[in-house]
Amino acid sequence: MALAAGAERVAAEFEYTKEDVNRGVQEFIRQMDEGLQKQGATMSQIPTYVTAVPNGTEKGLYMAVDLGGTNFRVCSIQLHGNSTFSLTQSKVKIPQQLMVAKTSHELFAFLAKQIELFLKTHHNDHYVTHVERRKSYVGFTEEQVFSLGFTFSFPVQQSGINKGTLIRWTKGFDIHDTVGKDVCALLQKEIDALHLPVRVAALVNDTVGTLMARSYTSPGKTGTLLGAIFGTGTNGAYVEKLERITKLKKMGGVSAFEGETGDMIINTEWGSFDNKMSVLPNTPYDRALDKESNNPGIQMFEKRVSGMFLGEILRRALLTLVEDKSVPLFSDEHSNQNDFHSTTTIHEASPLWRQWGLDTSFLSITSGDNSAGLKVTRQTLENDYEVSAPSAEDAEAVRLIASAIGKRAARLSAVAIAAVVISTGKLEKPADIATSNNASLEVNEDNIVDIGVDGSLVEFYPNFEDYIREALREIPQIGPQGEKRIRIGIAKDGSGVGAALIALVADQGR
Ligand code: ADP
């Protein structure tokens, strides 16, 4: 088989049609509902105890810390009340021995010490107040105490806005006695031991932070509906009606929120949408990736959408062609006729032979390659992936398959976005009457549905948003008119300001 035909055959396996999109949306909505009703559903739909999104007019000085993996970040955020903010930040690497310390105290005392250092360096007024005049935390007035949002990117069972017990450590951390404990209380204890004027006001999930940050900075005062991450992983958090979160009643928690906004932000954990594989696409490459991953059968949506996996899907698809002797990918047949030294081969040491050897950034490079003869793709294959002398035909085949994988990821992302927009009824406003008459709808601040996104994939993969929009138009409940009303904006590095905003909302709810 000719190379082009072989590549087209593989690319076609990644086609995700209009019918697939619509089936996906229906099932996504069903699984979202199930997650709101009961614990232990495929999609966790975790109540965050955050009951409002900001509108940009919020003011004040807040702190945020972020314990994610390798680093610990401390920052202070001045919210100016006009959708802008200023941020002061410091970052320190977590010493390896503290990640596997004997006791929680060792790690959390280190974190508190970093907060103290930060105050000393950047907010000396608060620090001096403490040392010279007050001597103890108790002596601070409410105004002098910083409210802090604690972004903690490990699995926690949250039971209040600033309460959550660690389920298990991940990412190389392993401190036995932290498991089952409230991580906010652990941090507060060490902060108090240093007599710092800091109150751990909120436990923050990074996706929720993205939603809050976008809602504060987005144009207009409507408030953002959804914050979504398409980076290493994928996840979304959105504003849900409290009354629809029926499992919260069973958890005994709903009465505490009566008289508030009537809303609560839900952390969907949509990476695990359809783990049972009733509607997700499943090529042989997807199946092999999952089988050889360290968590087979889990995070099935994420495994088709996010940065951690797309490169690996492409790698497996390419190797299938390489191993198919009837299709001449990276073989002599197409090697450069003008240079008799060049024969196309994948070097033995090429990362293409290794699991996870192909980075998703390569999909962006090749899908966006407009150079003559796909020179950029060929050079990248040669320099980064040890494929010697790839031909233009090779590069064309690689680009075709990479683009198919990227486009499928974007169309799957549209499924998640559409499901949230449809299930929350956000497009069902009077403005829609115009759509049924086929009159052209004027999109304005009142009928915009705002969505904040973050992550390298949506930021750098060429036309990712365009592909999402194309799919949204194919869904009857949204259509071209609805799609126009959906505004998608980047919420870059929202974690600091997002955590600060959650601390602010937590203060208001006290
Ligand atoms: P995180 O989600 O961990 O906060 P990022 O949003 O930067 O961080 O996402 C990192 C992921 O994005 C990695 O899986 C990486 O392979 C992928 N990535 C990095 N650069 C690009 C790019 N230019 N195009 C597509 N994916 C990329």
Which pLDDT tens digit goes with each residue over 443-499? 777 789 999 999 999 999 999 999 999 999 999 999 999 999 999 999 876 789 999
Q: How many residues does the chain have?
A: 510
Read off the pLDDT of each residue in 376-384 and give the average, rounded to a whole number.
97
How much distance in Å is there from the Cα of 307 to the middle of ligand 1? 5
Q: Is the pLDDT of residue 155 over 90?
A: no
Q: Is the pLDDT of residue 326 over 90?
A: no
Largest CA distance in the chain: 82
pLDDT attached to residue 434: 47
pLDDT attached to residue 162: 95
Q: What is the pLDDT of residues 355-374, one digit of tens each?
A: 999 999 999 999 999 999 99
Question: Residue 358: what are its φ and ψ, rounded to 5°?
Answer: -115, 120
Q: Is the ipTM of this complex over 0.90?
A: yes
pLDDT attached to residue 69: 74
Name the percent of the chain lying above pLDDT 70: 90
Please indicate whether residue 460, judged by its CB atom, sits closer than 6 Å to ligand 1: yes
Q: Is the pLDDT of residue 66 over 90?
A: yes
| Domains defined for the chain, CATH in brackets | 3-14+276-406 (3.40.367.20), 49-204 (3.30.420.40)
Read off the pLDDT of each residue in 220-245 and give the average, rounded to a whole number.
93
Q: Which residues are catalytic?
A: 153, 168, 206
pTM of the model: 0.90
* Mean pLDDT of the chain, nearest integer: 90
- Picking from 3-7, 80-84, 259-263, 405-409, which range would have the lowest pLDDT averaged per residue? 259-263
Read off the pLDDT of each residue in 331-347 and give the average, rounded to a whole number.
62
Which residue, 427, 422, 428, 376, is CA-closest to 398? 376
Which residue, 385, 379, 387, 375, is CA-closest to 343? 387
Looking at ligand 1, which residue's alpha carbon is closest to its atom 16? 360
Looking at ligand 1, which residue's alpha carbon is closest to its atom 17? 307
Please indicate whether residue 228, judged by its CB atom, sits closer than 6 Å to ligand 1: no
How many CB atoms are closer than 10 A to CB 113?
15
Q: What is the pLDDT of residues 121-154, one digit of tens each?
A: 998 877 665 555 455 545 567 777 899 999 998 8
Angle of helix 392-423 versus helix 464-473 axis, rounded to 10: 50
Read off the pLDDT of each residue in 177-196 and give the average, rounded to a whole number.
96
Q: What is the pLDDT of residues 296-324, one digit of tens each?
A: 999 999 999 999 999 999 999 999 999 99
Residue 260 banded pLDDT, cuts 50, 70, 90: confident
Please indicate whether residue 78, judged by its CB atom, sits closer than 6 Å to ligand 1: no
Q: Is the pLDDT of residue 170 over 90?
A: no
Residue 507 exposure: Cα atoms within 13 Å on the Cβ side: 22
pLDDT attached to residue 487: 96
Name the strand (E) or helix (H) holding 438. none
**Identity of the highest mean pLDDT range in 172-181, 282-291, 335-344, 483-492:** 282-291
How much distance in Å is there from the Cα of 334 to the middle of ligand 1? 33
pLDDT attached to residue 445: 77
pLDDT attached to residue 70: 82
Read off the pLDDT of each residue in 228-242 and give the average, rounded to a whole number.
94
pLDDT attached to residue 315: 98
How much distance in Å is there from the Cα of 102 to the middle of ligand 1? 33
Which residue, 251, 278, 236, is CA-closest to 488? 236
Q: Is the pLDDT of residue 433 over 50?
A: no
Residue 505 vs residues 107, 403, 419, 496: alpha-carbon distances, Å: 28, 42, 27, 15
How much distance in Å is there from the Cα of 80 to the middle of ligand 1? 31
